[in-house]
Amino acid sequence: MNHFLDIHKTDPDALRGIIDQSRTMKDARQGRPAAAPDDEQPLAGHMVALIFEKPSTRTRVSFDVGVRQMGGQTMLLSGSDMQLGHGETIADTARVLSRYVDLIMIRTFDESVLEEMADYATVPVINGLTDRSHPCQIMADVMTYEEHRGAIAGKKVVWCGDGNNVCASFLHAAAQFGFDLTFTGPMQLDPEPEFVGLARKAGRTINIERDPVKAVQGADLIVADTWVSMHDSQSSKERRHNMLRPYQVNAELMAHAKPDALFMHCLPAHREEEVTSEVMDGPQSVIFDEAENRLHAQKAIMRYCLDV
């Protein structure tokens, strides 16, 4: 049974197969309306549970549309619907859901919830996001980079800002896809040493550079993410803004990267905070291709999990 829990827990050949299938499926849909079914219906007769303990736009819509395009059906469940871990255990929830559905996607807070769900489910489980990682996003990002610039192996990726869950999955991907990564941000928000070490052990160059101008020199791809979470207090937001303001991605910073460097952001973005509108809407930005590719990458991930 193929779970998709994290990029570093998935075989590199399987990851490459997912990217290749993502592009094939995207090409096959050119010119079709969103509601039109794929020619292949690999999820026909399959029911997919989509569990959201955390709010979502792109993850919810892209998974729901993807299942429908491939001929399957979805059951959308919120944290309040399920009371995960409050009353019935996560293990028992996993056992019960496995009797009803063929695949579970969960977007949750604590990584342990995802792990327990996978440990006890008898159907595949997909990580739609935890506080520690966001693998589906980075599969879409790798797909997007390669659409525009070819193989990502050997390239330099620069992460600007907070070494958060998306940054963690970029480090996992560096190890598996063979690119190098430089983190630039305040020391208090460095990425987890475990994930830095994992990528270095795989032979990748992982640097931490406090000066963003130095960090982006020679960059093929610059990535940013929101500075604050919707759950942060106002005082926490102010502290984070003060720490992160020097790491804003703007036209001046982009000018120090390679002339053909791309810019990515997983969205939603706070314009004029972590990135300026000039960069977001500029010629180096591929943020909306990146958002679209969540759909195609996740369709391929679901096919990998179900082996269809």
**Hey, which residues are catalytic here?**
107, 134, 137, 225, 266, 294
Q: Give the DSSP letter of residue 285.
A: B
The answer to whether residues 222 and 250 touch, using CB atoms and an 8 Å cutoff, is no
H or E segment to which residue 85 belongs = none
H or E segment to which residue 37 belongs = none
DSSP state letters, 221-252: EEEE--S--TTS-HHHHHHHHHHHGGG-B-HH
Give dist(CA 104, CA 74) in Å, integer.
Answer: 10
The answer to whether residues 249 and 222 touch, using CB atoms and an 8 Å cutoff, is yes
Q: What three-state secondary structure class fits 44?
A: coil
3-state helix, strand, coil in the chain (%, to 5): 45, 15, 40
Give dist(CA 297, CA 144) in Å, integer.
Answer: 10
- Give pairs for 17-21: CB < 8 Å, separation 24+: 17/304, 18/139, 18/297, 18/300, 18/301, 18/304, 19/139, 19/142, 19/143, 19/146, 19/297, 19/300, 21/300, 21/303, 21/304
